[in-house]
Amino acid sequence: MAEEQLRKSQLIEYENIAGHDGMQSSKSGRLLVKPCKQPEIDFYQSTLEHPKFRHFIPIFLGTLEINQAAEPRASHSRAPSQNLLIPGSDVGHITHWTPSGGGKISADHGIVLENVAYGFTKPNILDVKLGRRLWADDAPPAKRLKMDKIASETTSHPLGFRIAGMKTFVGYASPKADNIDGYRKYDKCYGRTLSTQTVRRAFEDYFFIESAGITKELASRVIHRFLNDLRALQRVLEEEESRMYSSSLLFVYEGDSKRLQHDLDTPTPAETPSASIDGSVDFDTLDDVEFTNDPTKQASATEGIFTVVQTNSEANSTSAGDAASDDSEVFAYKVQAIKMIDFAHATWVPGQGSDENTLFGIKNVIKILEEMIS
């Protein structure tokens, strides 16, 4: 068991491969604090009533005040929001909209989430923005026009997704590396240059990294696992009635080829999501790591203490040749993880059917990955 103690003065800037600036992490890197506005907080809280979907998003621990003079106060309401239904398409009250350009969101609160990339030695990260339509019903006309223009000029409209950012470990000696850390980074501009004919190349660059020792055989095994996860997510979204505009798929897999080979050959129960060979998911056995906290009991808390509860499968697993972490804990290796993220424009819509806008993109990602290993 370990505790994460979050203080405003101790948060560290976190490099986000896509999306807005301003993300921060705890000192250990286990937890992230993302500035956001109330609708996204409400949506995360509402997922408590959608347990199958919740397995495909980062673990949500609560909120922290981030723009107050005092130290941040932890807060976590387990009561689902009652204001999550889409209002009518009335945008007349919004008369002006200024694009953020990916800058920091002006917000007083941040949501505290698990860092999906935590626990990997060399995480390879890919952000895939979903949807042909990228704006919510309450978007002002100027935003609608801009988002439609971006969609029409990129793979968003024809395929329902585009590459929003990517970070891959290519090896310390590789001429492709951007700096001495051995990583190559691709920003949102890269994804906007891709077409329906060239977008597969981005996935190949993400998975097939010979310079780092990740052969096509190794990568194919990872892709098979992602396909299982994606098919399971597809089935869950087909059962839900939701609308999630400009949400993303976050892919993470182990970029250290030796560790990747080891973990593929000796899988552990701590891998998440837990998918069988046919892609079916046992939703009763997915939670190998639980995060528990109830800071609402502290009427005037000046810090948030988040307790990480390890299960036996995680606590007993060992890592060959891997040193213990700074807090003397040993964590199971992870091969891959996939989560949906970014829910600033997400809501539940009872009676209106599944989110075909998001599903269209997921199905096309599945198709490309299937073609890569066929």
∠ CA(228), CA(230), CA(233), 5° rounding?
Answer: 110
- Predicted pLDDT at 89: 28
- Predicted pLDDT at 332: 55
Domain spanning 2-372: which CATH class is it, in words? alpha beta
Domain ranges of the chain: 2-372
Cα distance from N-terminal residue to C-terminal residue, the chain: 43
Q: Is 4 helix (H, G, I), strand (E, B) or coil?
A: strand
Dist. CA 195–CA 135, nearest whole Å: 21
pTM of structure: 0.77
The structure tokens 């609560």 sit at 62
Backbone phi, then psi, for 191, in 5-degree steps?
-65, -30
Cis bond upstream, residue 51 (ω within 30): no
Q: For residue 292, which of 147, 78, 70, 93 has the smallest C-alpha distance?
A: 78
- Ranges in the chain, pLDDT < 70: 1-9, 18-20, 67-107, 267-333
Cα 301 to chain centroid, rounded: 29
Max CA separation in the chain (angstroms): 61
- Predicted pLDDT at 3: 55
**pLDDT tens-place string over residues 182-201:** 999 999 999 999 999 999 99
CA 18 vs CA 162, 191, 363, 364: distances in Å: 12, 11, 22, 21
Backbone phi, then psi, for 135, in 5-degree steps?
-120, 150
Rounded (10°) angle between helices 216-239 and 257-265: 60
Helical H runs in 215-296? 216-239, 257-265
- Predicted pLDDT at 78: 38
